Amino acid sequence: MVYSSFVQSLCMMALVILGFLNFDSAASGTKISWTWQPFVRLKQFSKYFHFLVLTLYFWIVLFSFWQLDGDSGYFLERLRIKIPFLLIPLVYLGLPKLSINSFQRILYFFIAMMAINVIGVLAIYAINFEEVNLLLKQGQHMATPCNHIRFSQLVALSVLAGWYLIKTKYNSRITANGIIVKILTVILFLSLHILSVKTGLVGLYAALFILTIRHIYTTRNYKVGVVVLAIMILLPLVAYKTIPSFNRKVHYTLYDLQMYGEGQGSDYGDSGRITSLKVGANLFKTSPIIGVGAGNLRSDVAIEFESNYPKYERPLMPHNQFIFVLAGSGILGVVLFLGALLIPLFYRQSYRNDFYLGFYILFLVSFMVEHTLETALGVGIFSSFLLLCFLYVPNEYYLNKPVK
């Protein structure tokens, strides 16, 4: 996910193959055989509905094939990007449930990996301090191993993983591990402010805010809660005064919005994103029930930009996942999309898990400002962590209930 979308795709294909293999250790060696466990569980539809509902992301695109009007390449690209939602849930159906220790160890590895990557990014920033700050002032972004928006999401997600491990006292019997988790979480949190990518920052703060509110509600510890909320409000102000990259990003964003308000936003990023939302809304109005067709969306967006917004040299697809689906698949499509999105959140009260809820909030914020699930990397991150949580979270409060 961090270094190569191509390798990520290869790994996901390999995972599909491995999901249907069974490895039995014996004295004579390891015996490999086919397993049909995923199909066995597939028959128990009601028990594993939260897995199967994810395939709707794929079917929404496929069922619009009859609307296709020329741009078959774009349609096939949409299907290719959505294929993980069809195959990976089937693979995970055959995997055993995760224990809390296994789930925590995976998150621990993820935090450590992201911390190493972030330190590398910040080292390059420190070496090229003046040049990078100038680029940030001009609306550019800091160099990252993968797409800077997805990288910021991964960093934000690793902070939420750290929050969860600290709260659940990961390996509390080994003092060093608890200290390492806290140090890495602080490093990742501060680094996200230095990266200054709006999607990751806003998503993280939204997740932490809601998690804090819920903690106050469940514990009735109002004093601590108010202090934490006050700190969360003050931190961006402190970052604005003390972190040059954060300061420049804020200034450029305000300047960008000012240019948009003056009708001069065709050369600026945020102005283009706002205009793309208008284009998506206009296309939705032309066919509100079934949309213009998922495979026709790119060509229709280009026509709309050329007709109504000729100052923009490059047409932008709607930078909002919900408007993207509305424009391409209409109300029917977005109803199915919301079903695929929300059913897993409420299945067996999964939202009670802090990491799972934080993960959802992070991506919901992303969906408001990006078409996250229209990129291979976005689908890879979302589906991988969602299905990882499926192996533990829905059973957490049932498997760990105290015996009466």
Encoding tokens for residue 334?
Answer: 């977005």
Tokens 């202090």 belong to: 227
Segment 76-98 shows an average pLDDT of 86
Residues 7 and 117 in one domain: no
Encoding tokens for residue 311?
Answer: 């100052």
Residues 62 and 153 in one domain: no
Residues 325 and 208 in one domain: no
Say if CB 392 and CB 229 are below 8 A apart: no
Say if CB 181 and CB 166 are below 8 A apart: yes
Query: Nearest-CA neighbor of 207 among 167, 270, 161, 241?
Result: 161
Q: Which residues contact 393 (CB under 8 A, 6 or more apart)?
A: 350, 353, 355, 356
3-state secondary structure of 63: coil
Residues pairing with 32 in the sheet: 23
**pLDDT-derived band at 368, boundaries 50, 70, 90:** very high
Segment 149-167 shows an average pLDDT of 94
Residues pairing with 24 in the sheet: 31
Q: Show which of 251, 280, 313 is a domain's final residue.
A: 251
| pLDDT score of 108 | 93
Encoding tokens for residue 60?
Answer: 């929404």
Query: What does the alpha-carbon distance between residue 263 and residue 52 come to, in Å, rounded to a whole number?
Result: 46
Q: What is the 3-state secondary structure (H, E, C) of 232-284?
A: HHHHHHHHHHHCHHHHHHHHHHHHHHHHHHCCCCCCCHHHHHHHHHHHHHHHH
Segment 375-380 shows an average pLDDT of 91
Encoding tokens for residue 296?
Answer: 């026709």
Q: Which residues contact 145 (CB under 8 A, 6 or more apart)?
A: 2, 3, 117, 120, 121, 151
Residues 325 and 206 in one domain: no
pTM over 0.95: no
Residues 271 and 392 in one domain: yes
For residue 258, is it within any domain? no
Burial of residue 247 (CB within 10 Å: 0-12, 13-18, 19+) is middle
Residues 189 and 103 in one domain: yes
What are the distances in angstroms from CA 11 to CA 116, 122, 145?
21, 28, 18
Query: Nearest-CA neighbor of 165 among 148, 146, 186?
Result: 186
Say if CB 331 and CB 284 are below 8 A apart: no
Query: What does the alpha-carbon distance between residue 278 and residue 50 come to, in Å, rounded to a whole number?
Result: 33
| pLDDT score of 401 | 47
For residue 325, is it within any domain? yes
Q: Show which of 225, 251, 277 is a domain's final residue.
A: 251
Residues 204 and 308 in one domain: no
For residue 27, is it within any domain? no
For 249-291, write each residue's pLDDT tens digit: 888 888 877 877 776 665 667 788 888 999 999 999 999 999 9
Q: Show which of 220, 251, 282 is a domain's final residue.
A: 251
**pLDDT-derived band at 327, boundaries 50, 70, 90:** very high
- Please check the confidence at residue 246 and state whether its pLDDT lies above 60: yes
For 176-206, write each residue's pLDDT tens digit: 677 889 999 999 999 999 998 999 999 999 9
Query: What does the alpha-carbon distance between residue 216 and residue 222 come to, in Å, rounded to a whole number?
Result: 6
- Please check the confidence at residue 331 and state whether its pLDDT lies above 60: yes
| pLDDT score of 172 | 60
Query: Of 54-63, 133-142, 364-373, which gets the smallest average pLDDT?
Result: 133-142
Give the percent of the chain with pLDDT over 90. 48
Say if CB 21 and CB 34 are below 8 A apart: yes
Encoding tokens for residue 280?
Answer: 């998506």
| pLDDT score of 174 | 62
Residues 130 and 220 in one domain: yes
Type and span of the H or E element at 21: strand 21-26
The rounded Cα 158 to chain-centroid distance in angstroms is 12
- Comparing 247 with 46, the larger pLDDT belongs to 247
Q: What end-to-end distance do the CA atoms of the chain give, in Å?
A: 44
Residues 173 and 85 in one domain: no
Query: What does the alpha-carbon distance between residue 255 and residue 249 come to, in Å, rounded to a whole number?
Result: 10
Number of domains composing the chain: 2
| pLDDT score of 281 | 94
Residue 155 one-letter amino acid: V
- Domain interval for residue 328: 1-14+35-96+265-399
Q: What share of the chain is helix, strand, coil (3-state, %, to 5)?
A: 75, 5, 20
Query: What does the alpha-carbon distance between residue 157 and residue 118 come to, in Å, rounded to a whole number?
Result: 13
Say if CB 289 and CB 330 are below 8 A apart: yes
Residue 58: DSSP 8-state: H
